[in-house]
């Protein structure tokens, strides 16, 4: 994983498709072709559209590129690494100025990143990190500290349990994100750190499985959880969409989400806040999707040959039920 101890961090405020891979989804309406007009040409490969967070992130990138006057070439990998690698190779062939992508998983990128480096095309990671044998294969990461989000989820669960007056063992069901993806790995790691340090005797993850960051996945997996472990009393979901899907299964089982099963999730999308305002989600750890403006600033600096921080981190917060109604009207995603 990335060695964040050596990164310089900068807090920033919370504030797109031609010539793509054969298997990747195209979005021709948000892209203009390069024609020697002097504009920066940015090739951006998105993970997919698996969640409300991802859709907001895509909208932010497209809007910021338009605002900056860049020629954006956008591809949707549909959550398949092979599509993303093909799209990046297409950008290399086209000779774009900068490549940015949000990696589907953390491993398996060395070959294509070496191809980009050989053509002197800088690569910027967004949202998610990669594991690579040579960190010079990419310039920087613009995103969140997922391990810290997992830790914050653990600490806010302490407050949720206290507020609910919960006594006795805490039996946790964990809905993991996409297997091999940085947020899934690191959020689980951070949450477990809090468990091991402070709650080794009273908290236990009794069941854990990927819901692939999707609402449908969360619903299906939670239904299975309730059959195999009907006595779970806490759900930790790696994103809001899985939590919202899980709520449907909890209600179908005759239980009350937010009461019979306390729920902590990560993201802070609109539907998550609605569920929290209804008392169905107890707390949310924010992960800011509005990375477009920060990404465009980094792209310009990279194109101009300026030095950038090794890791640019978003500023985020935490929310509980009693904050939801106040927070909801101000959310833009």
Write out pLDDT tens, residues 33-61: 444 578 999 999 999 999 999 999 999 99
pLDDT tens across 224-244, in order? 999 999 999 999 999 999 999
- Can you give the pLDDT at residue 244? 98
With H, G, I as helix, E, B as strand and everything else as coil, classify residue 261.
Answer: strand
Residue ranges in the chain whose pLDDT is less than 50: 1-35
- Can you give the pLDDT at residue 120? 97
Q: Tell me the C-alpha distance between 71 and 214, whole Å.
A: 31
- Can you give the pLDDT at residue 314? 85
pLDDT tens across 51-92, in order? 999 999 999 999 999 999 999 999 999 999 999 999 999 999
pTM metric for this prediction: 0.87
With H, G, I as helix, E, B as strand and everything else as coil, classify residue 152.
Answer: helix
- Can you give the pLDDT at residue 321? 86
Q: Tell me the C-alpha distance between 212 and 311, whole Å.
A: 26
With a CB cutoff of 8 Å and minimum separation 6, the contacts of 313 are: 9, 10, 11, 12, 143, 144, 145
């Amino acid at each position: 994983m990335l060695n964040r101890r050596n990164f310089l961090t900068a807090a920033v405020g919370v504030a797109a498709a031609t010539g793509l891979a054969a298997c990747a989804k195209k979005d021709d309406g948000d892209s203009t072709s390069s024609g020697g007009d002097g504009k920066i040409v940015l090739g951006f490969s998105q993970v997919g559209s698996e969640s409300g967070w991802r859709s907001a992130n895509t909208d932010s990138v497209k809007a910021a590129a338009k605002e900056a006057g860049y020629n954006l070439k956008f591809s949707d990998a549909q959550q398949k690494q092979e599509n993303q690698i093909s799209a990046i190779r297409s950008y290399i062939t086209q000779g774009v100025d900068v490549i940015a992508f949000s990696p589907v998983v953390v491993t398996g990128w060395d070959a294509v990143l070496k191809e980009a480096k050989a053509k002197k095309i800088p690569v910027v990671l967004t949202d998610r990190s990669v594991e690579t044998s040579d960190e010079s294969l990419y310039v920087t990461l613009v995103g969140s500290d997922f391990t810290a989000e997992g830790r914050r989820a653990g600490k806010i669960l302490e407050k949720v349990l206290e507020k609910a007056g919960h006594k006795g063992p805490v039996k946790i069901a964990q809905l993991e994100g996409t297997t091999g993806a940085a947020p899934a790995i690191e959020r689980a790691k951070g949450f477990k750190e809090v468990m091991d340090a402070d709650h080794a005797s009273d908290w236990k993850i009794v069941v854990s499985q990927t819901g692939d960051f999707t609402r449908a996945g969360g619903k299906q997996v939670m239904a299975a959880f309730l059959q195999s472990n009907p006595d779970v009393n806490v759900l930790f979901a790696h994103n809001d969409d899985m939590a919202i899907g899980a709520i449907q299964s909890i209600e179908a089982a005759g239980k009350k989400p937010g009461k019979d099963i306390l729920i902590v999730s990560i993201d802070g999308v609109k539907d998550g806040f609605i569920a929290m305002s209804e008392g169905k989600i107890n707390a949310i750890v924010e992960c800011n999707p509005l990375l477009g403006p920060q990404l465009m600033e980094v792209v310009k600096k990279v194109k101009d040959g300026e030095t950038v921080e090794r890791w640019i981190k978003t500023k985020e917060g935490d929310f509980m039920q009693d904050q939801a109604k106040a927070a909801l009207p101000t959310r833009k995603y």
